[in-house]
């Protein structure tokens, strides 16, 4: 044991079992690092290496082969869905290229510090602006918790396979599919006769009955698993940049009539039109809890401007994208560069700095007890306004103290307002591309506070 790491693991109530390195009393994982000596790996920035070892590491990084293989794929196009930092900002700022600093992600700490550096009147004006915008959109967002009959085999645990079953995730997945069915994107499915009819239609070449499915941020693919089990989907594309264990792929591949393709790629770099096996195939785009900018990247991936007029006509006629359902998540991670509808926000008077503040406020939505009733937004509004007025006069302690003294419920209400403003901008962008759209709360906040679902369809997709 004298050669073992001396780092104490409080959860396991023991010392680390790894061997020490060099003259240190710790292993490589727990040895103190010097920030000046460590740099992010250019191939995979999620890990870092000593600067002196960088050249050698570049030749043997575990992800090197994967990166080389990916770069040779026709559907890989670096940053194609990333957006631009200065798009839709008009001609007043000129056509100068954005600086490197403006393209870097703004961290939560940077957003918090920017909010705390505001004057109290500036903070009060921003809160009032958020409340005013939200009051104009809140009636356009409705509760829509739907569990379709088609998903009974999952709800009742009648699925005969060894897949993890967590009720809160199953009901979320079922409600996503239920809302798609109610919206007319998915055809109702019940009974063996309908399933046999679908198989017959598919074999006869009728692709209008059951489109392919592209799941963005698929993870282990359990949403697609339920969709395939309950609605007879026959072609599946799972888009995920990470590698997971316990994937649904193995079970999906056991379906003789189902074709599965997993694309291990960042959504930002995916040119969906260049996926050969998807060309000319109508598809449904789905995603459950697409964190932060992943929602914007996915929307841009599906609905970006077409390269020529013929493609644009095909897209508008619903020949490719038939519909979409994206459950948004983690709005505090959103970035101005990636956000899909900057024009919408700027028309509402929301600047880039305001956007950073609003995305930071969204983290407040998880501060409160979500078993409580958050429906009385008007009551919270009056309380916040009187609170702000008092603080504007006293101006003691600045914005940091105001935030600290706000009740958790007050912060949560502001956080939910900001989430809905961000998602409404996304809805408006999709609507501008010719789709019928809805933004619903697909599960109660007691199941998940991340309960916004953006659904859309082409009017003539059927």
Taking only the tens place, the pLDDT of each residue in 101-111 is: 344 578 899 99
Between CA 123 and CA 223 the distance in angstroms is: 40
Task: Tell which residue, 78, 36, 82, has the closest CA to residue 335.
Answer: 82
pLDDT at 208: 46
Q: Give the chain's count of helices (H) and strands (E).
A: 17, 12
pLDDT at 191: 42
Between CA 30 and CA 197 the distance in angstroms is: 60
Parts of the chain with a pLDDT under 70: 1, 33-36, 87-104, 160-165, 189-210, 305-319, 367-396, 460-462
To which H or E segment does residue 38 belong? strand 38-40
Please state the φ and ψ torsions of residue 329, each to the nearest 5 degrees. -165, 155
Between CA 382 and CA 35 the distance in angstroms is: 47
Tokens of 127: 């809160």
pLDDT at 374: 55
């Amino acid at each position: 044991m004298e050669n073992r790491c001396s780092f104490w693991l409080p959860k396991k109530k023991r010392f680390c079992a790894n061997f020490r390195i060099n003259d240190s009393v710790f292993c490589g994982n727990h040895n103190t690092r010097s920030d000046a000596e460590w740099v992010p790996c250019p191939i995979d920035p999620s890990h870092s290496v000593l600067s002196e070892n960088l050249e050698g590491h570049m030749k043997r990084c575990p992800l090197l082969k994967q990166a080389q293989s990916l770069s040779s794929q026709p559907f890989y196009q670096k940053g194609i869905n990333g957006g631009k930092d200065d798009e839709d900002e008009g001609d007043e700022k000129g056509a100068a290229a954005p600086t490197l600093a403006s393209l870097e992600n703004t961290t939560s700490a940077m957003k918090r510090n920017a909010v705390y550096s505001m004057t109290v009147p500036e903070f009060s004006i921003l809160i009032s602006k958020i409340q005013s915008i939200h009051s104009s959109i809140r009636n356009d967002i409705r509760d829509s918790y739907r569990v379709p009959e088609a998903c009974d085999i999952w709800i009742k645990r009648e699925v005969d396979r060894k897949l993890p079953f967590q009720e809160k995730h199953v009901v979320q997945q079922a409600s996503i599919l239920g809302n798609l069915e109610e919206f007319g994107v998915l055809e109702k499915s019940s009974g063996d006769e309908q399933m046999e009819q679908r198989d017959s239609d598919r074999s006869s070449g009728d692709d209008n009955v059951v489109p392919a499915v592209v799941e963005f941020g698929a993870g282990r693919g359990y949403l697609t698993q339920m969709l395939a089990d309950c609605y007879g989907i026959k072609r599946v594309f799972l888009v995920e940049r990470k590698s997971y264990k316990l994937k649904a792929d193995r079970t999906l591949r056991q379906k003789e009539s189902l074709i599965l393709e997993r694309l291990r790629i960042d959504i930002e770099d995916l040119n969906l039109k260049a996926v050969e096996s998807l060309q000319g195939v109508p598809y449904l785009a789905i995603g459950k809890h697409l964190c932060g900018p992943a929602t914007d990247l996915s929307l841009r991936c599906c609905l970006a401007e077409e390269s020529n007029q013929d493609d644009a006509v095909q897209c508008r006629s619903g020949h490719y994208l038939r519909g979409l359902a994206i459950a948004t998540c983690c709005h505090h991670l959103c970035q101005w560069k990636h956000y899909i509808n900057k024009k919408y926000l700027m028309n509402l008077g929301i600047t880039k700095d305001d956007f950073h503040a609003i995305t930071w406020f969204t983290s407040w939505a998880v501060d409160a007890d979500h078993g409580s009733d958050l429906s009385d937004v008007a009551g919270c509004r009056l309380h916040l306004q009187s609170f702000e007025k008092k603080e504007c006069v006293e101006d003691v302690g600045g914005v940091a103290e105001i935030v600290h003294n706000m009740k958790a419920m007050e912060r949560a209400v502001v956080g939910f307002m900001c989430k809905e403003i961000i998602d409404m901008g996304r809805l408006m962008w999709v609507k501008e591309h010719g789709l019928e759209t809805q933004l619903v709360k697909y599960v109660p906040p007691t199941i998940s506070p991340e309960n916004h679902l953006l659904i859309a369809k082409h009017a003539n997709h059927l």
